[in-house]
């Protein structure tokens, strides 16, 4: 098995169920932010702000990159609907791309942030019931 996988498993073994759930939910929610480059910065800031393992958070960010691309159009469509179906400005590509990015970020905020909260609560419940008391004590 690769050395980084063993180190990642060892790092997770030292965390509480709440910390694992927070790491996974924050990493996935921030990792699918629809503007390229921003998830890396957001994950780094979240790691320092929430005192999470920054390497594990960046790993989750990188793993979720394909999901970020897959969700780009659905999030933009959702944001377009939330914004009242405003027409895209004509004339310049920069204006069209800017409004589409704004719609994608709006869709992300409306869908991914609540989904991340649900994911956190679900993971805490699941991990608390699945982890043995001996594993938590040691």
pLDDT by 10s per residue, the chain, length 138: 677 677 767 767 778 889 899 999 999 999 999 999 999 999 999 999 999 888 888 988 999 999 999 999 999 999 988 887 666 566 666 677 888 889 999 999 999 999 999 999 999 999 888 876 555 454
How many Å separate Cα 53 from the centre of its chain? Answer: 15
Q: In this predicted structure, what is the pLDDT of residue 104?
A: 92
Residue 133 DSSP class: H
Alpha carbon distance 115, 128 (integer Å): 20
Q: What is the pTM of this model?
A: 0.81
Structure tokens belonging to residue 76: 């933009």
47: phi then psi, degrees, rounded to nearest 5:
-60, -45
Measured CA to CA, the distance from residue 107 to residue 110 in angstroms comes to 5
- Among 60, 83, 84, 64, smallest CA distance to 72 is for 64
- What length does the chain have? 138
What pLDDT is recorded for position 15?
81
- Residue 34: the pLDDT is 94
């Amino acid at each position: 098995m690769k050395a980084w996988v063993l180190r990642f498993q060892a790092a997770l073994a030292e965390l509480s169920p709440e910390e694992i759930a927070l790491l996974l939910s924050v990493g996935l929610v921030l990792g699918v932010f629809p503007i390229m480059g921003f998830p890396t910065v957001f994950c780094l800031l979240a790691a320092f702000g929430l005192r999470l393992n920054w390497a594990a958070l960046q790993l989750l960010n990188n793993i979720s990159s394909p999901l970020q691309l897959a969700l780009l159009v659905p999030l933009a469509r959702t944001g377009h609907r939330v914004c009242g179906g405003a027409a895209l400005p004509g004339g310049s590509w920069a204006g069209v791309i800017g409004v589409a990015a704004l719609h994608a970020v709006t869709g992300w905020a409306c869908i991914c942030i609540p989904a991340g909260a649900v994911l956190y609560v679900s993971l805490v419940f699941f991990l608390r019931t699945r982890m043995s008391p001996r594993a938590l004590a040691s």
